[in-house]
Structure 1
Amino acid sequence: MKVYRFLTGLDDAAFCHRVTDALNKGWSLHGSPSLAFNAATGQMQAGQAVMKEVEGKEYHPDMKLSEQ
């Protein structure tokens, strides 16, 4: 089964560390990163989709994707 997550946050080192952590836990990048300017806060927001193949599991909406 494939699982999907979309990581978001401020475009800063902490966001890069979250993506790096996901990659080191077996997730793969899916598509290009996205950036958007938040006019209300004056900050750049970043997003990156990641996917992972999980063996022997069935999808259920209650599953914690970050724990896969």
Structure 2
Amino acid sequence: MKVYRFLTGPDDNAFCHRVTMNLNKGWELHGAPTLTFNSVTGQVICGQAIVKDVPGKDYDPEMKLGEQ
């Protein structure tokens, strides 16, 4: 099974650490990151898709994808 997640958050050190943590857990980047600007808060928001192959498991919509 291939699992997909889309991480989002403010463009800060914590977001980079979240992406790095997931890469070290076996996830891979999927496509380029995205950026948008929240004019209300004045923050740049990042998004990054990640994917992971999980052999021996079948997809279940109740599963917590971050735990795979």
In angstroms, what is the RMSD of aligned CA positions?
0.4
TM-score of the two chains, using structure 1 as the length reference: 0.98
Deviations along 1:5-62, whole A, 9 cap, x unmatched? 0000000000000000000000000000000000111100000000000011110111
User: What's 2:48 paired with?
Assistant: 48
User: What's 1:8 paired with?
Assistant: 8
User: What's 1:19 paired with?
Assistant: 19
User: What's 1:60 paired with?
Assistant: 60
Listed as ranges, the gaps of 5+ residues in structure 1 are none
Listed as ranges, the gaps of 5+ residues in structure 2 are none
Runs of 4+ in structure 1 deviating by more than 3 angstroms, as ranges, are: none
